[in-house]
Amino acid sequence: MTTDWERISMPAMRHIVFLAVSAATAIASVTHYLLVEVTWTVPGLALDDSWIHLQYARTVYGGHPWEYSPGYPSTGSTSPLWSLLLSVLFLFTRDPTGLVAGVYVLAAVLYVVCAYLVALCVWQLTESMTASILAPVAFVTIPKNTWLMLSGMETPLFMCLLLLALYLFGRDVSRSMGGATVLGIVMGLTFLARPEGILLVLVCCPLYGLMSLRQGQPLLRTVLSLLLVCCSALATVLPWVLHCLSVTGRPLPATFYAKSHPVLPFEVAVWNFWWFVFLVEMPFLSVGMVLGAITLVRGRPYVWWMASWMTVVYRLLFPYISLINNTRYLVPVFGLYLVCAVTGSALVARRAVAWVLGHASIGSPGFVARHRAITCLIIVGVIIVPSTPLYMTQADYYGNSVKNVNDMQVTIGRWLAMNTPPDAVLAVHDAGALRFFSNRTVIDVAGLVTPDMVFLNLTVRQRLEYVRDHGCEYFVFFNELMGPYMPFIGRAVTVLYTVHLDDNVICGRDTMSVYFVNWSVVVL
């Protein structure tokens, strides 16, 4: 006679339980954050960059994709796949409130899928129902996770595809031609969701080859499988790479080059400080880093390997950038370490019980009961409980962030729509809501959506000449960032509109203004 627990471990029931737990926890968290949000402000998005994705989605729907401003092709989308997905929302509504609601729905669905994939990854590595059921709960309570999932950014899509690719690696699906093709396509889609997805090819494919050879797979078969995986991935990303090459002559989005620069000592110091804070506030990171190495012995170290390499790459290339906007770049890394922490906890608990009771007891009712109890104790006590206070704090941070963007960028964007000519050209530093709501042509001096600002290496004077020659008479900047330009155009500048935030937690500066420049009195 099988027990209830054994029946629930059967494949069909197991998936139903994982999905049910994932849906319950993710939807409960989304509901919690949205209820907190409406105590702060009207529904909106927590980052100005989120409106960049919606603007690109609008160009896709309008039939002129990737022209951020009419007639100006751009490679500024770090997640073309997310913009393509968001473009579906325009089939139902063009109202900003309706679009925001659609983003929430998409994010919630993808959040559920992410939590479900976390459960599958843990089961794949441990075959522990206790750990696998608790994993989605722990995943949702990661501080900043729900904040970022609901921010309007591409994170839920990226995490879904990343976890799916790592799960497929663990299942050795590339050993068949069909499986290799599917894995390659998923890896390509992960890159199209975020450029960091390229690490799947660079670090996980070589590791997969080594693990396959270690398990006795013939060398030729391993090489051919990996070639098929890589070719499928390349075929998936090729259209976007060709678009980038045709616009800028470079294969990656302009945003990558805009944010790339030699790492400065103060950036490393900031990275070191905040990682010390992270390790104190979120103990599961340390647990995941250390215990995740156990998966090397089990021959499926892909989650731990990817988390480790993403951390290394961010530290070497983007130690400061990765920390901005509520550490939005690092939250997926936290999620992978969470999987490692839960997995490692279950495996250590199993070995501890076997050592106490003797290996001959493995599988006995006493062994199983003790293993469940210790696994539950570690995961709840070391992973979930310590994360809960910061998870709660982040709910208010989310509401405050949405309020900031609504009060500043969205408000100014609406003002521009009402108070500037339809053919006005705006020089902007935040390029999201200002473009979306004003529906005016913009020149992004930060270079995220205006490639020339990155690749022409313009001086301050040359930037002014550039925007003047493109018919721009309006600057929409954080006040402090106008400083370098004022010696050249100060006497020709009029401040038309200003927004100041007293409770700013997410915008780049507290004050943003609309400036009008009378070029007739400017000599450059």
Average pLDDT along the chain = 90
Which range is most confident: 66-80, 202-216, 274-288, 355-369?
Answer: 274-288
Per-residue pLDDT reduced to its tens digit, 58-117: 999 999 898 888 888 888 888 999 999 999 999 999 999 999 999 999 999 999 999 999
DSSP conformational letter for 262: P
More confident residue, 177 or 398: 398
Cα(52)–Cα(235) distance, rounded to whole angstroms? Answer: 26
Q: What pLDDT band is residue 229 in, cutting at 50, 70 and 90?
A: very high
Is the whole model's pTM more than 0.75, yes or no?
A: yes
How many whole angstroms from its chain centre is CA 384?
Answer: 22
pLDDT at 457: 80
pLDDT exceeds 90 at position 122: yes
pLDDT exceeds 50 at position 326: yes
CA dist 267 → 183, 261, 319, 322 (Å): 36, 11, 6, 10
Average of per-residue pLDDT across 167-171:
91
Average of per-residue pLDDT across 128-153:
95
pLDDT at 3: 42
Q: What pLDDT band is residue 455 in, cutting at 50, 70 and 90?
A: confident
Cα(159)–Cα(117) distance, rounded to whole angstroms? Answer: 9
Cα(411)–Cα(233) distance, rounded to whole angstroms? Answer: 42
Average of per-residue pLDDT across 437-463:
86
Q: Which of 462, 464, 400 is closest to 427 using CA atoms?
A: 464
Characterise 152 by phi-psi region: left (phi > 0), alpha (psi -120 to 50), beta (else): left
Cα(51)–Cα(468) distance, rounded to whole angstroms? Answer: 26
Cα(369)–Cα(398) distance, rounded to whole angstroms? Answer: 40
Q: Which of 209, 161, 167 is closest to 187 using CA atoms?
A: 161
pLDDT exceeds 60 at position 397: yes
Amino acid at the residue 393: T
